Structure 1
Amino acid sequence: MLIRLTYASRARNLGPMDVKDILESSKRNNQALGVTGALCLSNGIFLQCLEGDRAVVNALYHRILLDPRHQDPAILDFDEVTHRQFSAWSMGLVSAVADNQSLFLKYASGPEFDPYQMRPVALRAFFNELIQNTRWIG
């Protein structure tokens, strides 16, 4: 069964090379597992969407929970899907740089982007728009 899981967590003790390391290891590991997805970083908050087999994504999420760079993890959306949204990436990264800031703010309920406050329908729309309109790293 193909599923999509979206979660958020607050970055803890994140150094300048950590994001690059997270992206590289995610790409390598996810490809081997058949997992695709996207990782966003804004205001010290990770927002990640993972797609793949239910058991594989579940195990991967539980491994992420053990990573000391994440705190306050929360599953924001979980759904069975008929196809992958991120089939081109084992993991793509987008950050709230100036080029992308207006899109992040479009979905913000306040002055800063906070995915913890977003409903699943807004998260899905946000990722759909990210795929079409932003500059991805990875």
Structure 2
Amino acid sequence: MLVRLLYASRSSATEAEFTVILRQSRKHNAELGVTGLLCHSEGVFVQVLEGGRAAVNRLYNQIVSDPRHRDVTLLAYEEIAQRRFAGWSMGQVSLQRLNPALLLKYSEAVRLDPYGMSGAAVSALFEELVSEGVIVCS
């Protein structure tokens, strides 16, 4: 059974540490059959994970236990018939290529603040990010 999980967290990871995390995630997720997207801005992570229920749940529990993440908040969790982000073992959103009006469409300000958004709004934002072509790489 496939599931989609969306969460937010805060991190003090440097850009170099973030690059290492992203590289490790891509390798590890591919081995687990997990796909998704990661958006990172000003110390805030928003990530959507898709895959088998057991693999996604295990990965989320590892993230919650990881000292590099704090304020981990589950925004949405659902069973799905098919993946929406199947093309990326862990795609990365480039906020530099993002039209600021898109953020304003779903949030109170022109900055990424998943803690002030509903899970449905963050999910809709991720859908538009794919449509807008702001995914950096797989």
* Same fold (TM > 0.5): yes
Distance change in 2, residues 1:111/1:124 (3 Å): closer
How far 1:23 sits from its partner (Å)? 1.1
CA contact (8 A) 1:96 1:104 kept: no
CA contact (8 A) 2:95 2:134 kept: no
Unpaired runs of at least 5, structure 2: none
Q: Which shows bigger deviation, 72-81 or 109-118?
A: 109-118
How far 1:111 sits from its partner (Å)? 4.7
SS of residue matched to 2:111:
coil
Q: How does 1:7-86 map to 2 (within 5 A)?
A: 7-12=7-12, 14-86=13-85
Instruction: Please give the root-mean-square deviation of Cα atoms over the aligned residues, in Å.
Output: 1.4
Moved over 3 A (4+): none
Q: Which residue of 1 aligns with 2:98?
A: 100
Unpaired runs of at least 5, structure 1: none
The structure with the greater share of residues assigned to helix is 2
How far 1:126 sits from its partner (Å)? 0.6
Q: Which residue of 2 aligns with 1:6?
A: 6
Query: Match of 1:58, as an amino acid?
Result: N
- Distance (Å, rounded) in 2 between the aligned partners of 1:4 and 1:16: 27
How far 1:72 sits from its partner (Å)? 0.5
How far 1:7 sits from its partner (Å)? 0.3
- Distance (Å, rounded) in 1 between the aligned partners of 2:20 and 2:64: 17
SS of residue matched to 1:46:
strand
Aligned length: 136
Deviations 1:4-34 (Å, cap 9, x if unpaired)?
A: 000000112x112111111111110000000
- Distance (Å, rounded) in 2 between the aligned partners of 1:74 and 1:90: 22
How far 1:129 sits from its partner (Å)? 0.2
TM-score where L is the length of structure 2: 0.91
